[in-house]
Amino acid sequence: MAQIFDRSSNALARMSLILTGLIVIALGVTLDQLQYSPWVTRQGQRADQPVPFSHKHHVQGLGIQCQYCHTTVERSSYAGIPPTKTCMNCHAQIWTNAALLEPVRRSWATGESIRWIRVHDLPDYVYFNHSIHVNKGIGCSSCHGRVDQMPIMYQENSLQMGWCLNCHRDPAKNLRPANEVYNMAWQGPSTRKPVWCGTAGDKDGVPTAQTVNCTTVDPSQVGARTASLDMLPPTDSPETHMLDIAAHPNGAAGPTGADNVNYTKFTDQESLGLFLLKQYHIRDPHELSSCETCHR
Amino acid sequence: MKETESKAETMDTQDGMAAKDAGLKVLGQDAPVQQGTTLAAARAELDTGAGWQGLDTAAAHPGFGRRIEQEFPAHAGEWVDPVSRRGFMKLMGASLAMAGLAGCTKQPDEPIYPYVKAPEDLVLGKPNYFATAFPFNTGALPLLVKSDAYRPIKIDGNPEHPMSQGGSDPLSQGSLLGLYDPDRSQHVLYHLEASSFPDFKKALIRDLAGMPGGQGLYILSTTITSPTLAAQWKDAQKRYPQARLIQYDPVNRDSARRASKAAFGDFYDAQYLVDKADVILSLDSDFLSGITHPGFVKLSREYADRRKLMDPSIEMNRLYAVESMPTTTGFKADHRLKLRASQVAAYARAIAAAAGAGSAGSSGNWTGEQQAFLAALAADLKANAGKCIVIPGEQQTPEVHLAAIAMNQALGNVGKTVVYTETVVPLPSIQLDDFKSLVADMNAGKVQWLLMLDVNPVYSSPVDLMFADALKKVPKTAQLGSHLDETAQVVDWHINDAHYLESWSDARAYDGTLSVVQPMIEPLYGGKSAHDVLQTLLDDPSRSSFDVVKANWQPLLAGKGNFDDAWRKVLHDGFAANTAFAPKALSANVAAALGAETQPVPGDDAIEIIFRPDPSIYDGRYSNNGWLQELPNPIVNNCWDNAVLMSGPTKVKLGLAESDVVEISLNGNKVRGSVLSIPGHPDNSFTLHLGYGRTHVGRVGAGMGFNAYAIRTSATPLFATGAIFKKTGDTYEIAVTKSHYSDERGPMALWGSAETGDLRSHSLEGDEAITRGIVRYATLEEFRKEPNFAHEKGVFPEDPERDNTLFANFPYDKNAWGLAIDQNSCVGCNACIISCYAENNIPVVGKHQVKTGRDMQWLRIDTYFEGDLQSPRAHFQPMMCQQCENAPCEEVCPVGATVHSPEGLNVMVYNRCVGTRYCSNNCPYKVRRFNFLLFSDYETESLKLMRNPDVTVRSRGVMEKCSYCLQRISAAKIEADKENRAIRDGEIVTACQQACPTNAIVFGNINDKNSRVYKIKNQPRNYGVVADLNTRPRTTYIAEVFNPNQALAGGAPVEHAPEHS
């Protein structure tokens, strides 16, 4: 009786074994990659919102500050979605008949909330807190991207754990002066655009953002005074202190001694980050990447 | 729908207990598996004749239960157990879901609903705190309620209140779940059909027009605690002078009232100043267990403050307890004497005589031990005249109260350690007498309209009065109630009650300080309060309770400046400052009141029944509260059921065994309950807890336990002698959270034997706890001689050296969190456990799961019994995750789900946990809890409102445990970091610490030498439980110190070293 299988089938059998292995591996890699793909992370997806609200128009076009709507970002874990009232502050006066704003007017008239779709949605077991990030010099755009250039809001970053840890293990690379947190166009210092930072001395109980002052204008030039207005005046005599800074902008010893600001010039993110890491008392990476920081 | 569900279960079997019996028995034996049943046969078996209208109908059909047993023998019990029946459905549902959708983790779209107009003071993500008060008939408990987006999510004591100073208790803590109880009554009903409150008002006002002067209008109310409600009643009486108000609670203060009336001629409350007393005598008074005793929060704090031994200038007090059933008060006492309830009065008389107050009774037939106790006690009282207190028990007779009044007066305590004031409740009365006259009037046909406010008399009234029959003779009845309970089934009108967290009212605390009860949330189901109902009788029937309360406070705040400012301050603070009662100078003619007559003390052999409110569900009003149902009772740790509690020797002598169902007959009334032995109970005496055996209350409480009211008569509401019992041959197992049954092992097992007559027994666990140094204690004298007694070499195992470990030591250079538990202060009241439930979203698992050992409480209170279990010494030890620095659990987790934090916490990462349970096996403290089934309720809408948003709701297959309230640590860290400062001592308070009325638990940074926790841990009495295993626990315990009377030293086991016999 003739053999059913020819000798050449051996090669075929080997091939199919290898192929099966390859397919399994490919499938594994595909599934793994799928977890990081925008299909799962929703990066770049524009949700179908009831009102096609344009951050670009309101932020870049009109220059509205982030906190005008996201009022609790500095105080609470939750940045806050503006109530209909906030929209109506202006839209009771302008674009009162715009068809696009119909859901807003309906909400205002009926008292029912506008039903937005959450764009940045962390899993429920992650306890993210906006206030601590904003207070410690992490800018809005570090996580949310150039919101001022988004006609329709979308998620810029993956918001996955690996992405969070990237920064929690080395926060210095994203730290910026607290007064630049809401600056969407902030790009970090460079030789062409240096940053000068000074500290008025660390004080216990005084928020770090108020004892560190940074400016993008050379403090030895006129105009530094405007920048230093952000800084909390020392306790005793606010007026004199303001004058001190103005009088001794480059940190020369002034009458009040320790209260004076010594400005340092930074031309790269690394050195600025390390300076701020120290000044802002950022906890060390060991603590920041410990599980209980975000999960409980 | 939900109500019909529970009805179906109970109606089917008449008696809920029988149903569970059946279920439990099935668990024990292998259900017969029928082979080869045809589909037709199964259909025939399940044919109801009328078809099914849903799964509930099917479930009620006996054939269905049988099929389930055959199909899933292991789950049969769950199907019968009403709570875990839901769990079973969820389990099956979840398995189906898992099969199809495993691996698909894409999250669904989540909507955001912003405010239309945001409230001004609301910062979403940050809680608000509002002050209110928990009204209770022994005095209100002032509260501070944590509110997340205006949903109350945590209840705690108001730390600024002069009386409570932030303490709370299990009932007030648990009342949060009462608000969100999905089985609350939600509609106004007329003959169980939907109606409305205006319709009710119309009907009442129409009928009143035909009742001149309100003749025939009777109002039966729970004890009125609100001065405003009392004022409303007084107004109503002006309009309807013939109307009558009767206040009746099944557990009331009648004994104290009768005694006060007899001694002083009027109703007064006694306030005890425990902090000023060197010697305290409790006459069956359980003042360390919960707010069932008036002033619990204050009395227990003051008791504990004198026992902390931190400040050498504060002298330690000494507590004597004479008690008829084991309570935490008795076991915290330096000397405890068990006595039959019927003998306490005579014994109190004898003490009074010996202490120089009145003449001795005739029945001085005391045993040697009792005589010695009496002599030493009387001598100690006399030696400390003016610095001692006698506290009578609320569940004792007026005679005991009179004896206490006499002793306090004769010893010169009045004005020093005890003061008499106005009553905390505005309309004091002798409730049982009033109630009896009400029933008489009902039977005589005098009652035309009966309005019942927050009472359930069909369930809880004395059985001999036959209230349900009398109710049928009343033409019109209405009930204001929180649930569709037994009374709601038979009344004409049922009005759904507003929870106290939903309504305006006011109340007085133990010391008389006035508080406003302000609502935390709009009534979830449009409920009405007693104020709204009473207002119907007044000129302006639609006036809101807010207006009524505010108007009533006008005179109260007169002289405190602008009313609106003063009112706002009261609402903000939670109380009106300086409104405590001033002591009254009263002189009692006690000798005359006490009289010479004594009731004959019944013989020792007559079986005595003691009725007590349940420590968790009280008189039954908290029956449907899962947290409280699952809360282990102090001492014996049973939950979900009441039991026939008796001493071990009695059990052996009567030929009974644990779980035997006995039928108790008392004056012809019968009840069946299951036997449970409890250490330290007087012999020939059964304690029955009230509040169980509900038929209509909701999915949690219906059918649990037996109804002790069924044998409680108006003649003997406190205790009764002459019961007959019969063994029925049935068994019914009770869920006990601790290894109760191992108390029966050991060298002298099973309470000895009836044959040899040696009825002594030891607790194996207790013995081990002493030998292994789990509990350590000394007498005050020994402590003075050797302050380091807790580390005595050769007696207790020593802690190993720090470097004696295979693993690297973690450095803790910044914060290092630690917890100290003072065992001298812990009174075992369980407030911490309920607080932990609320703070950490802990699920309720149901009786069946507790029996299987799957209870989820992160914190438990271990009770160790030492010595002969007939009259042991007990040690209470709160036990939760010890946050070991050298944690055995961490080393065995294969997936890194339990890891060490830089601050020394042992943290659980729920999402990594795959449920191997190795960590739990390796934990020497047994404090890890595994979520075997889907215990968290993800479906019930109302419960979602209650959850703490800062804590993950854990799912099935995940290990969980105490985290030292990590969410509170994180919140404090973020605030401190923002303000650029260190975390202040006392800024982080764990939930258990916050609830503790005696400040037994202190949390803080042990690296900070100025912190309170460091100072406490720095005492020589500080020790770690099984720290000899080199676990280096962060939670440590402060060893107990007792203060025994030298004259009695031989009588109690006071040796701290274990006897190696």
> Is the distance from CB of B147 to CB of B266 less than 8 angstroms?
no
The better pLDDT of the pair B325, B741 is held by B325
What's the pLDDT at A234? Answer: 43
Q: Is residue B183's pLDDT more than 80? A: yes
State the pLDDT at residue B61. Answer: 63
Average pLDDT over residues B1007-1036: 92
Q: Which tokens is B287 given?
A: 């003042």
Residue B459: predicted pLDDT: 93
Q: How far apart are CA B561 and CA B552, in angstroms?
A: 16
Structural contact between residues B167 and B505, judged by C-beta atoms closer than 8 angstroms: no
Cβ atoms of B857 and B842 within 8 Å: the answer is yes
Say what the ipTM of the complex is.
0.85
Two structure tokens written together for A27: 């499938």
pLDDT of residue B960: 94
Q: Is B18 or B766 the better-scoring residue by pLDDT?
A: B766
B106–A40 CB contact, under 8 Å? yes
Instruction: Please check the confidence at residue B102 and state whether its pLDDT lies above 50.
Output: no
Q: What integer pLDDT is reported at residue B806 of this predicted model?
A: 80
What are the Cα distances from residue B87, in Å, to B31, B61, B805?
A: 21, 20, 44
Contact yes or no for A108 and B982 at CB 8 A? no
3-state secondary structure (DSSP) of residue B411: coil
Residue A89 per-residue DSSP state: H
* Burial class (CB within 10 angstroms; exposed 0-12, middle 13-18, buried 19+) of A28: exposed
Residue B93 token pair: 């549902």
CA distance B495 to B473: 21
Q: Where are the alpha helices (DSSP H) in B112-241?
A: 170-180, 197-209, 227-239
- Collapsing DSSP to helix, strand or coil, B141 comes out as strand
How far apart are the C-alpha atoms of B299 and B293, rounded to whole Å?
10
CA angle, residues B1043, B1046, B1051, in degrees to nearest 5: 90
Cα separation, A161 vs A201, whole angstroms: 36
Q: Does residue B360 belong to the interface with chain A, where contact is any CB pair within 8 Å?
A: no
Residues B243, B219: contact at Cβ < 8 Å?
yes
Mean pLDDT of A250-274: 66
**A296 with B974: Cβ contact below 8 A:** no
Q: In angstroms, rounded to a whole number, what is the distance separating the alpha carbons of residues B862 and B1025?
A: 12
Contact assignment for A85 to B116 by CB distance below 8 Å = yes
Lookup result for tokens 């929870």:
B499
- The 3-state DSSP class for residue B125 equals coil
- Residue in chain B nearest A72 by alpha carbon: B123
> In whole angstroms, what is the distance from residue A109 CA to residue B7 CA?
45
Q: How far is A192 from chain B (nearest CA, A)?
A: 32
Q: How far apart are CA A19 and CA B16, in angstroms?
A: 64
Determine contact, residues B937/B945, Cβ cutoff 8 Å: no
Residue B11 has pLDDT above 50, yes or no: no
- Looking at residue B101, its pLDDT comes to 45
Interface probe, candidates B977, B979, B981, B990, chain A, greatest A C-beta count within 10 A? B977
Name the band, by pLDDT with cuts 50, 70 and 90, for residue B1054: very low
Residue type, position A247, single letter: A
> Which of B110, B118, B963 shows the shortest C-beta gap to A85?
B118
- CA–CA gap between residue B131 and residue A10 (Å, rounded): 83
Listed residue (B759, B764, B766) closest to B684, CA to CA: B759
Instruction: Output the pLDDT for position B746.
Output: 41
Q: B1008-1030 as b/e, with b when 16 or more CB fall inside 10 Å? A: beebbbbebbebebbbbbbbebb
- The CA distance from A66 to the nearest CA of chain B, in Å, is 17
Nearest C-alpha of chain B: how many angstroms from A22?
21
Of the partner residues A47, A72, A132, the one whose CB lies closest to the CB of residue B974:
A132
Q: Is the pLDDT of residue A252 over 60?
A: no
In chain B, residues with a C-beta closer than 8 Å to the C-beta of A131 are 974, 978
Whether the per-residue pLDDT at B516 is higher than 90: the answer is: yes
The answer to whether the CB atoms of A84 and B115 lie below 8 A apart is yes
Residue B1056 — pLDDT band, cuts 50, 70, 90?
Answer: very low
pLDDT of residue B1046: 86
For residue B127, what is the nearest residue in chain A, using CA coordinates?
Answer: A76
Mean pLDDT of B556-565: 86
B128 vs A249: which has the higher pLDDT: B128
Query: Taking CA atoms, what residue in B is nearest to A135?
Result: B978
**Which of chain A's residues have a Cβ under 8 Å away from the Cβ of B906?**
none
Closest C-alpha among B866, B924, B862 to residue B637: B862
Distance, in angstroms, between A292 CA and closest chain B CA? Answer: 7
Segment A121-161, tens digit of pLDDT: 998 889 999 999 999 999 999 999 999 999 999 999 999 99
CB contact under 8 A, B106 and A39: yes
In this predicted model, which residue has the larger pLDDT, A220 or B490? B490
The arithmetic mean of pLDDT across residues B229-245, rounded, is 92
Query: How many angstroms separate the CA of residue A5 from the nearest CA in chain B?
Result: 40
Residue B283: both structure tokens together:
């006459």
Give the C-alpha separation, B86 to B81, whole Å. Answer: 9
pLDDT in tens, B616-673: 999 999 999 999 999 999 888 889 999 999 988 888 888 888 888 999 998 889 999 9
Question: Are the Cβ atoms of B910 and A116 closer than 8 angstroms?
Answer: no
Residue B462 has pLDDT above 80, yes or no: yes
pLDDT digits (tens, 9 = 90+) for B667-705: 889 999 999 888 889 988 999 999 999 998 888 888 889
| Structure confidence by residue, pLDDT tens digits, A18-41 | 999 999 999 999 998 888 888 888
| Strand B608-613 to B719-721 pairing | antiparallel
pLDDT category of residue B95 using cuts at 50, 70 and 90: low
B420 closest CA partner among B405, B406, B430: B405
Q: Which residue, among A137, A128, A135, has the nearest Cα to A75 in the 3D structure?
A: A135
Q: What is the pLDDT of residue B592?
A: 65
Q: State percent of chain B over pLDDT 90.
A: 56
According to the model, what pLDDT value does residue B718 have? 92
Distances (CA, A) of A121 to A46, A114, B290, B404, B802: 13, 18, 44, 65, 45
pLDDT digits (tens, 9 = 90+) for B149-172: 999 999 999 999 999 899 999 999
- Torsional sign, CA B331, B336, B340, B345: negative
What are A197's two structure tokens?
A: 């930072």
Query: For the packed helices B368-383 and B341-354, what is the interaxial angle rounded to 10 degrees?
Result: 50
pLDDT at site B44: 66
Band (B263; pLDDT cuts 50, 70, 90) = confident
Q: CB atoms < 10 A from the CB of B555, how many?
A: 10
Helix (H) or strand (E) holding B673: strand B669-677
Q: Mind listing the pLDDT tens digit for each residue in B21-36? A: 333 333 333 334 344 4
Taking alpha carbons only, the member of B734, B732, B731, B743 closest to residue B639 is: B734
Mean pLDDT of B39-48: 63
- pLDDT of B104 reads 52
> Within chain A, how many helices (H) and strands (E) appear?
13, 4
Widest CA span in chain A: 112
Give the mutation candidate from A127, A291, A293 for the B interface (greatest B CB count, under 10 A): A291
What confidence tens digit (pLDDT) does each residue in B417-452 have? 999 999 999 999 999 999 999 999 999 999 999 999
Contact B116 A78 (CB under 8 A): no
**B125: contact with A, CB 8 A cutoff:** yes
Q: Does the structure show a pLDDT above 70 at B19?
A: no
The predicted structure's pLDDT at residue B83: 53
Predicted pLDDT of residue A3: 78
Mean pLDDT for the stretch of residues B303-325: 91
The predicted structure's pLDDT at residue B976: 92
Distance from C-alpha of B790 to C-alpha of B784, rounded to nearest angstrom: 12
User: Does residue B978 surpass a pLDDT of 80?
Assistant: yes
Specify burial of residue B836 (Cβ count, 10 A radius: 0-12, 13-18, 19+): buried
- Calculate the average pLDDT of chain B: 85
The reply to whether residue A75 touches residue B126, judged by beta carbons under 8 angstroms, is yes
Out of B115, B901, B909, whose CB is closest to A113?
B115
